[in-house]
């Protein structure tokens, strides 16, 4: 099985090109591929499949040629991946599966458009929808937060003064209210940062991702964090610098919608023998 490995701000993916949707991809194969000791290793899998050839996407075949079939490292499926979609775009362009520097991609959270500008890729993302108040627990502490829907679910918690972002133990999943997030949630912890030239707001965040654990970056999470930061600052629009363990992402809200910009890098290609992988679980 041919694969490519890539990452966006350290959020890393195994990319499988499967234009006709014929790969027998299963949760256990995805988990085995993403295993960092016995597999290739990754926070998730991006299957590159023609929209016309995927049952979840075929109705939108006229809107985009390619569908991002995204899987988390544990083999679960998610609606959106903000870093994944940039890496997906980089792969499409590098493999000459698309023409030009701007093209649509179908995701489970809807149609987006990627624009390639040098090392950076900007994607017009789903508008984050702010929801109910919630809370994230890292025993013995509980942090109030806000539910944010970016196509996938997020819980954004701005840390109170005196709590050091770097001190949080994210080796285990933070607790959350399952009634508020019946399908699970990605949990972001945030601290405001000093102003930065060229940005309206500047924050740092760490994330515990549903299905993948703590990752170096989460693009949809950065968008959720930016939406909360703009709300808290009383801004209708603006550009937010979001610093993550793996680097900086830029989230911008204009009157026309939201854009997420950042790096996307392909680092390797190879061949993996699925029969040599250790089944997950
Ligand atoms: N890392 C991604 C988000 C991937 C999906 C997430 N773990 C979920 O289950 O919703 C990003 O960059 O947005």
For residue 280, the model assigns a pLDDT of: 66
- CATH of the structural domain 2-125+264-276, one choice from 3.40.50.150, 3.40.50.410, 3.10.310.10, 2.130.10.10: 3.10.310.10
Alpha helices in the chain (DSSP H): 27-34, 82-94, 219-233
Annotation: CATH topology of 129-260: Diaminopimelate Epimerase; Chain A, domain 1 (3.10.310)
For residue 281, the model assigns a pLDDT of: 63
Number of alpha helices (DSSP H) and beta strands (DSSP E) in the chain: 3, 17
Q: Is 34 a catalytic residue?
A: no
Q: Are 136 and 187 in contact (CB under 8 A)?
A: yes
For residue 279, the model assigns a pLDDT of: 72
For residue 58, the model assigns a pLDDT of: 97
In percent, how much of the chain has pLDDT > 90? 99
**Per-residue pLDDT tens for 178-203?**
999 999 999 999 999 999 999 999 99
Q: Is 218 a catalytic residue?
A: yes
Q: What is the ipTM of this complex?
A: 0.99
Burial (CB count <10 Å: 0-12, 13-18, 19+), residue 238: middle
> Annotated catalytic residue: which of 29, 31, 49, 81?
81
Residue 96: phi, psi to the nearest 5?
A: 55, 40
Residue in the structure block whose two tokens are 């950076």: 120
pLDDT band at 278 (very low <50, low <70, confident <90, very high): confident
User: 83 a known binding residue?
Assistant: yes
Q: How far is the CA of 175 from the centre of ligand 1 (A)?
A: 18
Mean pLDDT of the chain: 97
Q: Is the pLDDT of residue 264 over 70?
A: yes
Q: Where in the chain is the domain with CATH 3.10.310.10?
A: 2-125+264-276, 129-260
Name the pTM for this structure. Answer: 0.97
Kindly give the number of the ligand 1 atom that is closest to the alpha carbon of 207.
1
**Per-residue pLDDT tens for 220-231?**
999 999 999 999
CA dihedral 141, 147, 153, 155 (to 10 degrees): -20
What is the arithmetic mean of pLDDT over 129-154? 98
Helix (H, G, I), strand (E, B) or coil at 46: strand
For residue 76, the model assigns a pLDDT of: 98
Q: Are 247 and 217 in contact (CB under 8 A)?
A: yes
Q: Could you tell me if the CB of 262 is within 6 A of ligand 1?
A: no
For residue 236, the model assigns a pLDDT of: 97
Which sign does the torsion angle of CA 44, 49, 54, 59 carry? positive
Q: Is the pLDDT of residue 5 over 80?
A: yes
């Amino acid at each position: 099985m041919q694969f490519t490995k890539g990452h966006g701000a350290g959020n890393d993916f195994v990319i499988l090109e499967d234009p006709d949707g014929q790969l027998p991809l299963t949760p256990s194969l995805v988990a085995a591929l993403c295993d960092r000791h016995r597999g290739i290793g990754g926070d998730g899998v991006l299957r590159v499949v023609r929209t016309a050839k995927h049952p979840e996407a075929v109705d939108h075949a006229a809107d985009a040629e390619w569908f991002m079939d995204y899987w988390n490292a544990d083999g679960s499926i998610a609606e959106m991946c903000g870093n994944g979609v940039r890496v997906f775009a980089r792969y499409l362009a590098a493999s000459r599966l698309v023409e030009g520097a701007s093209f649509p991609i179908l995701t489970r959270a809807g149609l987006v458009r990627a624009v390639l500008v040098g090392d950076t890729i900007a994607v017009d993302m789903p508008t984050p929808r702010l929801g109910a108040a919630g809370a994230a627990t890292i025993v013995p502490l509980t942090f109030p937060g806000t539910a944010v829907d970016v196509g996938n679910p997020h819980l954004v918690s701005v840390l109170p003064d005196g709590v050091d972002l770097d001190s949080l133990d994210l080796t285990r999943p933070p607790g959350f209210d399952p009634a508020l997030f019946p399908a699970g949630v990605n949990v972001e912890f945030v601290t405001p940062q000093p102003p930065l030239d060229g940005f309206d707001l500047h924050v740092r965040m760490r994330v515990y991702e549903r299905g993948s654990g703590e990752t170096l970056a989460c693009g949809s999470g950065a968008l959720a964090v930016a939406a909360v930061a703009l709300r808290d600052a009383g801004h209708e629009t603006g550009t937010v610098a979001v610093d993550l363990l793996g680097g900086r992402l830029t989230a911008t809200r204009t009157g026309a919608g939201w854009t997420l910009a950042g790096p996307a890098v392909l680092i390797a290609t190879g061949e993996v023998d699925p029969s040599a992988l250790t089944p997950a679980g």
